Chain A
Amino acid sequence: MSVHVSDTSVVRGACPHDCPDTCAFLYHVEDGKLVEVTGDPDHPMTRGGLCVKLKNFAEHHYNPDRLLYPMKRVGAKGSGQFERISWDEALAEIKSRWTDIIDEFGAQAIMPHVYLGHQGTLNGLTSGDAFFNRLGSSVAEKTYCESGSSTAWIMTVGPTGGLDLESLAYSKYIIVWGMNMTSTNLHAWPFVLEAKKKGAKVVVIDPVRTRTAKQADWHIPIKPGTDAALALGMMNIIIAEDLYDHDYVEQYTLGFEELKDRAAEYPPEKVSAITGIPVADILTLAREYAATQPSAIRQGVALERSRGGGQAIRAITCLPALTGAWRHVGGGAVEMPIWEFPTKFDAICRPDWIKPGTRVVNELDLGAALTGELDLDPPIKSLFVYNSNPVSQAPDQAKIIAGLQREDLFTVASELFISDTARYADILLPATMQAEQYDLMVTWGHLYMTLNQPAIEAPGECVPNVEMFRRLAKTMGFDDPYWDRTDEEMLQDFYDWDAPQLQGITLEKLKEKGYMRLNVGDADKRAPHAEGNFKTPSGKCEFKASAAADGNFVVPVWRSMYEGEQSGEPVDPLPDYLPPFESPHSNPELAARYPLNIVSPKPHAFLNTQYGNETVQQRRQGEQVVLLHPDDAAGRGIEAGSYVRVFNDRGHFEGRAELTDDMMPGLVMANVGYWPSLTRTGTSVNAISSGKHCSLGQAGTYCDNLVEVARV
């Protein structure tokens, strides 16, 4: 619904989603009912509009399928049969089961599972970390997304926000690399268009001719998982043709000579063979990128989703230092600006409560962890799922379901709906939706603090995560003052309000204004690394990364701020190209059986699985579609509109074939986000996804999978 709103009271809010835009909301309330949610017209990025995903956001709060009360399972696991119980009963059951497990196996037999189903400081990714650290559970490594990028970015330039997306308006050359911005970073796109109007060239590098690629001046299709080779090839040309900024390199970078040698291994012909991009295009791209300043790179998270994804981010993040693009307003690169916010993650997560030596279990290994494939002692005996839906979103879907069916596994899920994961829970706890709770949003696409204030009463017995963990803490007998604080007091303690970025910003002011920009300089003047000032140990852009000395690591924010038990495999201190685990080129044996590479980007009308159960959004998104190049379809007897089965050794799913030369031959695309239980086969795209990790930061390899496609 998009109505013309009048005669209603307005409450300021913010979008809860794992999307870089963190839009500022206006909740319109009439007689205690949320009637519409619109974008704040005054916010410089939101500009009055939200996105297709949020079009029915007000109604979403009143979806009759919402989980409103605690429930306990009464049928077989996964049968979806539940019975209402009270909060007291639910908490007592959790306490009794956990106490038994802790007595017999120790607290590490309990594993939390969380991701960014909510992006608030109080209720989001880190909302349960203090509780589970205090409990002594296994530490969950939450590397669904961004972790490979974070590790690579921090190794190269340190925890800096980099280029402000609003500053793109001042760029003359913009590379959107591995991101379908008009679907997944919509509110930064007008700044790209503004630059374009002023004569900037917009280049999109993406295996698929996406709706964003179609709007660009130049789309460069690239084989998935080969981006590092392209970036190294660009360096090769930039250095060989002396197009680099000698002075910038000299003053503000580390390891140029070594990088030069590495880049020399990637001449255009070799890069062309790896990436599938013609030599002439690689030459043009490198020359234009270096010569047209200010040049900007918008890095997409998709880059990390293959074996060498982290190294690709490393290589790409080196480019603006080589060309001196950072000197200019509108020059540089943006991965995510979250690091500009003075969030006190230690105060939130309380890593001091983690006993040294506590083990880490990566969430992407959930299937292997639950089925015993990972040799875990003690085994996982209880799983607590919140802000996440691993059955749909994690790799190795079949294994996860097999694990969740274990009779001896005690599963608790806090949810808005009975998701495909929550179906397998023993206890369900009802969570509030955004208009019903208070939170200060974490943001990874702009530089504003954005406050969400509750606009309506919570229905039934739904509680925000922060309150759920207060209740759980009391139930488990934790008498720490941590859980005696109000939301307001917690937020006071969770940010460094005295930090220069927050000068003049207070919660009181945020309540009135809704959002306030960090004091980090204005978009039309800001050039954060014009004179180096990188946040690395050397203060320089580290082509040769000193952080590589300790081996592979996950940035602590993705692992409850725990510093211990990092995997530490050797890491090349220089960026390099690592071929995908699965591609016809790198794994011909596997490709003999499964010849097609598949990518599974985010859907346009769902946000991961959120809204995948809303009828209107299902209509907007349409049924699961499998995009194929006509040449690949022809040999397989597949016609447009026919249903196809996509499969490999790990599993299968089905969809309706769409044939288009937006795809390169040999490539298949299917969006993630469909609820497996609502599809033809009870499975979705992650049924075929490999559980292997990217070589940096343990990110998933969702875009590094071979499949075969057959007509059903």
Chain B
Amino acid sequence: MPHIVTDNCRLCRFTDCVEVCPVECFHADEERTYIDPDVCIDCGACIPACPVRAIYDTEDMPEEFVPWIAINAERAATLPVLSARQPALPTAADRQKELGF
């Protein structure tokens, strides 16, 4: 079972995660990132990299995030790979504050 990006990433998209992923399995739309479950090798490197704690290991996460498994799989399949770090969204700083990180 792979890793997933959850709602905290929305409007934030710091993409620190992309930089540490050894297999380039992050995909993105304008709002946030998604992990391709077929490519993710579960190394966990992205978890501590995310400044807003958006990423979880599906083997080790609160129940509430279960719906995100399907969302990541579906969105990743249709969106392009992000292979390099991007500038954070302009809303990122506010969003980070709002989330309390």
User: Do A and B share a complex?
Assistant: yes
Q: Do B22 and A620 touch (CB < 8 A)?
A: no
Q: A51-B41, A211-B41, A616-B59 are in contact. Are A2 and B22 (CB under 8 A)?
A: no
**CB of A310 within 8 Å of the partner chain:** no
> Quick one: which of B23, B41, B44 contacts A2, CB cutoff 8 A?
B44
- Contacts of A190 on B, CB cut-off 8 Å? 22
Q: Do A215 and B41 touch (CB < 8 A)?
A: no
A190 CA to B46 CA in the complex, in Å? 15
**CB of A403 within 8 Å of the partner chain:** no
Interface string of A187-227 (1 = CB under 8 A from B): 10110010001000000000000010011000000000000
Stretch among A42-50, A519-527, A704-712 lining the B interface: A42-50
A211 CA to B20 CA in the complex, in Å? 19
**CB of B45 within 8 Å of the partner chain:** yes
**CB of B75 within 8 Å of the partner chain:** no
Q: Please tell me the size bucket of the interface on A.
A: 20 to 34
Q: A186-B22, A189-B23 are in contact. Are A197 and B44 (CB under 8 A)?
A: no
Residues of B in contact, count (CB < 8 Å): 22
Q: Do B41 and A38 touch (CB < 8 A)?
A: no
**CB of B8 within 8 Å of the partner chain:** no
Q: Do B83 and A193 touch (CB < 8 A)?
A: yes
Interface string of B54-76 (1 = CB under 8 A from A): 00010110000000000000000
- Contacts of B44 on A, CB cut-off 8 Å? 2, 49-50, 52, 55
A5 CA to B57 CA in the complex, in Å? 16
Interface string of B9-40 (1 = CB under 8 A from A): 00000000000111110000000000000110
Q: Do A616 and B60 touch (CB < 8 A)?
A: yes
A616 CA to B43 CA in the complex, in Å? 14
Smallest beta-carbon distance A385→chain B, Å: 31
Q: A1-B60, A2-B57, A193-B24 are in contact. Are A50 and B43 (CB under 8 A)?
A: yes
A34 CA to B24 CA in the complex, in Å? 30
**CB of B4 within 8 Å of the partner chain:** no
Closest to B42 in A: A52
Interface string of A607-618 (1 = CB under 8 A from B): 000000000100
Closest to A49 in B: B45
A616 CA to B42 CA in the complex, in Å? 12
A494 CA to B41 CA in the complex, in Å? 37
Interface string of A326-360 (1 = CB under 8 A from B): 00000000000000000000000000000000000
**CB of A60 within 8 Å of the partner chain:** no
Q: A1-B60, A48-B49, A193-B83 are in contact. Are A55 and B42 (CB under 8 A)?
A: yes
**CB of A110 within 8 Å of the partner chain:** no
A84 CA to B24 CA in the complex, in Å? 50
**CB of A182 within 8 Å of the partner chain:** yes
A616 CA to B83 CA in the complex, in Å? 30
Smallest beta-carbon distance A219→chain B, Å: 15
> Quick one: which of A1, A41, A189, A620 contacts B1, CB cutoff 8 A?
A620
A1 CA to B59 CA in the complex, in Å? 10
A190 CA to B23 CA in the complex, in Å? 7
A2 CA to B43 CA in the complex, in Å? 10
- Contacts of A193 on B, CB cut-off 8 Å? 23-24, 83
Q: Do A183 and B41 touch (CB < 8 A)?
A: yes
- Contacts of B38 on A, CB cut-off 8 Å? 211, 214
Q: Do A2 and B20 touch (CB < 8 A)?
A: no
Q: Do A605 and B42 touch (CB < 8 A)?
A: yes
Q: A182-B41, A193-B83 are in contact. Are A619 and B20 (CB under 8 A)?
A: no
B44, B46, B53, B57, most chain A CB atoms within 10 A:
B44
A61 CA to B19 CA in the complex, in Å? 30
A445 CA to B49 CA in the complex, in Å? 25
A193 CA to B82 CA in the complex, in Å? 13
**CB of B5 within 8 Å of the partner chain:** no
A3 CA to B44 CA in the complex, in Å? 10
A3, A41, A49, A619, most chain B CB atoms within 10 A:
A49
A619 CA to B44 CA in the complex, in Å? 16
- Contacts of B43 on A, CB cut-off 8 Å? 49-52, 55, 186
> Quick one: which of B21, B45, B47, B59 contacts A619, CB cutoff 8 A?
B59
**CB of A535 within 8 Å of the partner chain:** no
Q: Do B22 and A189 touch (CB < 8 A)?
A: yes
**CB of A395 within 8 Å of the partner chain:** no
**CB of A136 within 8 Å of the partner chain:** no
Interface string of A591-609 (1 = CB under 8 A from B): 0000000000000110000
> Quick one: which of B21, B39, B48, B83 contacts A5, CB cutoff 8 A?
B48
Q: A1-B60, A215-B39, A616-B60 are in contact. Are A50 and B22 (CB under 8 A)?
A: no
Within 8 A of B (CB), among A18-59: 38-39, 41, 47-52, 55
Q: Do B41 and A197 touch (CB < 8 A)?
A: no
Q: Do B39 and A211 touch (CB < 8 A)?
A: yes
A51 CA to B40 CA in the complex, in Å? 11
A51 CA to B44 CA in the complex, in Å? 7
Interface string of A653-695 (1 = CB under 8 A from B): 0000000000000000000000000000000000000000000
Smallest beta-carbon distance B3→chain A, Å: 9
Smallest beta-carbon distance A344→chain B, Å: 34
A605 CA to B41 CA in the complex, in Å? 9
Q: Do B42 and A49 touch (CB < 8 A)?
A: no
Smallest beta-carbon distance B84→chain A, Å: 9
Q: Do A215 and B1 touch (CB < 8 A)?
A: no
Closest to B24 in A: A193
A1, A48, A193, most chain B CB atoms within 10 A:
A48
Give 9 closest A-B pairs by Cβ, nearest first: A49-B45, A52-B42, A2-B47, A2-B44, A49-B43, A51-B43, A48-B20, A190-B22, A55-B44
Question: Would you list 13 pairs from A and B whose C-beta atoms are within 8 A, ordered by A residue?
Answer: A2-B48, A2-B60, A41-B20, A48-B45, A49-B22, A49-B43, A49-B45, A51-B43, A52-B41, A55-B42, A190-B22, A211-B41, A616-B59
* Contacts A4-B48, A48-B20 known; 8 new A-B pairs at CB < 8 A: A2-B57, A41-B20, A47-B22, A50-B44, A187-B22, A211-B41, A215-B39, A604-B41
